[in-house]
Structure 1
Amino acid sequence: MASQHDSQPLFFEGFWQHGDLKIGQFRKWLDLCIIVAESDWGLYPIAIDNTDPSDNDIISDIDILGQDPEQVLPTGHYVILNRETLRHVVAIQTPLNYFRRTASHSGTSSYGRGSSFKNRVRERDGRCVITGNLVSDFSENVFRAVHIFPIAHLNIWRQSGFESLVTDTGLRTGDAKIDSVQNGMLLRPDVHDLFDRHLISINPDNGYMVTDFTKPGEFHGGRMYHAREDGDSERPLDELFRFHFLQAVLRNVRSIADDELEGPDSDSGEEVDWHDVHSVRLDNPKLHKTANGKARLETELASKLNLLAFHQGTI
């Protein structure tokens, strides 16, 4: 998908349509990702092989966004144009920030409050809440107790006031309450990795449906398993899923592609594998020479320090 940004097209990463995303929902996603300078704009299909959408070579002059919002969004490539003139309009990215998650598995700790968090989440859920696989059918270490909102971003947790939403009466939740079971769920390791990368997410405003942004779409369309009724003090918080889903939309629909997260740094050309825990070594020059590396190091350090404070009971 493309629009005009100054004199150059502004491209967006797009996503894989698995046959159920409706036009109205996609419009909401667009509003999270872009701000269009003109009010009267629409979305028009262009040829898949059109690498220069500035030539206005549209396949149809019918605005997709003007169709029934309950209609499934057709697959294809699109360009944003003024509805009256069919000329490009200026669009910029929204100021909403995308926050990377680390690949650390803090929920699997076997001591201190980490152990309490893990045990309480495991006892409550008893299964992977996305796939439905039961803990009783596998060995104990197959599943991970996962923080829905990452400990690495404790400052954002506090700024967002999420601790005020926690009603968990369980012991040892800490002042910030970020280790409450209301910020936890049990996942299979492979599902956890996709969740950490914002490649799958749970939409609490669509029946807790799982949106799988990957090409295979293995988990798409499933529903999250809830072990507690709405209003229960141990039930995961909808606001945390909304935050994660927003991040997933920004990561997959807005132009936050893999090369920004994991690929070569724009200045040096060196790569930092964001999801390889072994790459987080102080003697790894990529952590100091690349913008991606510095961001990775900062997030990992925040995660480690917050996790330490979490185990010591100071947060």
Structure 2
Amino acid sequence: MPINRSRGRNVHIYDANDPTTVLGGLRLANGVTNANFYSMMDILFVFTGPFFLQDEGDTKIEKDDHPLQPGKYFIVAADPFNVNNEPWLVRTISHATGTRTQTFCDAVRSRDRRCVISGRGVPYADYNEWSGFEAAHIFPLAYEGYWNNNNYGRWITIPPADPTKGSINSVQNGLLLDSSIHQDFDGYYFSVNPDDNYKILFFSIDSRGLSGKYLDQRLLNDPQRPADRLLRWHFRQAVLANMRGAGEPVFEHDFPPGSDIVGDILHGPKAAERMEYELFSRLGAQVELFPAVGRDGVSV
């Protein structure tokens, strides 16, 4: 069964006019400030006028750098607002392999030479040994059709070494990550907020003590650094996946030998989208993934 992202939440969000219906919530990790929480509200909801937050004691929460506290928070707005229906792209653990992504991997490895989240260096990079480190796509390769349809290639200024591989394989859409951190990144368990000095924020248990820290400055100083708009896209997806309603499902990816993978997928939530993603990720199938799309949904 998929993991429930809402389990363990200690921050809960309500409309002040309907204080019994939970609109969303958050597993609070280190580094989340009141100002961060306000920015998350601007992603989760579509407001037609000004709003503010208050706690259970009717105290207004200021948009400042004080740490957010666990508890119930109520949205106070004179004008109507709605939950954002921006699409969330189903994503499971992925690995960039094959000739199509080799130049992508080579470019990301050459630029980073370390996990850019934890800072852990690759011990044998000089010998081209990368065991335990993986080149991760910020925007998943499996959704290249969605990428092309929304012209996200306009965010890329450094095309891949082989332009026939598509702009999605630009080094600007990549990060070198420790393998386990890559899994958390693909699962939207954490993200990087480029609009808050590239702060790393976790939406789940942070066993490594990384939440609240900042992206490696050496990467930010690199002329081939990842595109801010792609980091912003990933952060929005992480907020929606973890905080909207009960949260999006977290899918099993480690199927033991002999498992009925197809059966498990087809009998679970978002079966069609997940099947397409798994076919592309596991088999390299030329499958174009087009989830139900509302608006573009990316702040630029």
* TM bucket, shorter chain: 0.7 to 0.9
Q: Is the 8 A contact 2:280 2:286 kept in 1?
A: no
Instruction: Kindly name which structure, 1 or 2, has the bigger radius of gyration based on alpha carbons.
Output: 1
Tell me: CA distance 1:141–1:204, structure 2 relative to 1, closer, same or farther (3 Å).
same
TM-score, structure 1 normalization? 0.73
Tell me: CA distance 1:16–1:68, structure 2 relative to 1, closer, same or farther (3 Å).
closer
Higher relative contact order (CA 8 A, sep 6+): 2
Task: Tell me the equivalent position of 2:112.
Answer: 125
Task: Tell me the equivalent position of 1:224.
Answer: 215
Q: Is the 8 A contact 1:203 1:211 kept in 2?
A: yes
Tell me: CA distance 1:103–1:70, structure 2 relative to 1, closer, same or farther (3 Å).
closer
1:44 pairs, out of 30, 49, 54, with: 54
Task: Tell me the equivalent position of 1:80.
Answer: 75
Task: Tell me the equivalent position of 2:34.
Answer: 23
Task: Tell me the equivalent position of 1:53.
Answer: none
Q: Is the 8 A contact 1:3 1:91 kept in 2?
A: no
Q: Is the 8 A contact 2:200 2:213 kept in 1?
A: yes
Q: 2:270, 2:282 → 1: CA distance?
A: 18
2:272 pairs, out of 285, 294, 303, with: 294
Q: 2:162, 2:50 → 1: CA distance?
A: 53
Q: 1:301, 1:121 → 2: CA distance?
A: 25
Tell me: CA distance 1:243–1:229, structure 2 relative to 1, closer, same or farther (3 Å).
closer
Offset of residue 100 of structure 1: 2.0
CA deviations 1:112-171 (Å, max 9, x no partner) are: 232222222111111111111111268631100111110111122123322123222552
1:112 pairs, out of 72, 80, 99, with: 99
Task: Tell me the equivalent position of 1:103.
Answer: 93
Tell me: CA distance 1:79–1:150, structure 2 relative to 1, closer, same or farther (3 Å).
same
Q: How many residues align?
A: 271
Offset of residue 287 of structure 1: 2.5
TM-score, structure 2 normalization? 0.76
Q: Is the 8 A contact 2:160 2:166 kept in 1?
A: no
The answer as to 2:21 corresponding to 1:13 is no
Q: Which runs of 5+ in 1 are unaligned?
A: 47-59, 84-88, 263-272, 311-315
Q: 1:280, 1:211 → 2: CA distance?
A: 37
The answer as to 2:158 corresponding to 1:180 is no
Task: Tell me the equivalent position of 1:93.
Answer: 83
* Aligned-partner residue type, residue 170 of structure 2: S
Report which of the two has the higher share of strand. Answer: 2
Task: Tell me the equivalent position of 1:270.
Answer: none
SS of residue matched to 1:131? coil
Q: Which runs of 5+ in 2 are unaligned?
A: 1-11, 288-300
SS of residue matched to 1:186? strand
Report which of the two has the higher share of helix. Answer: 1
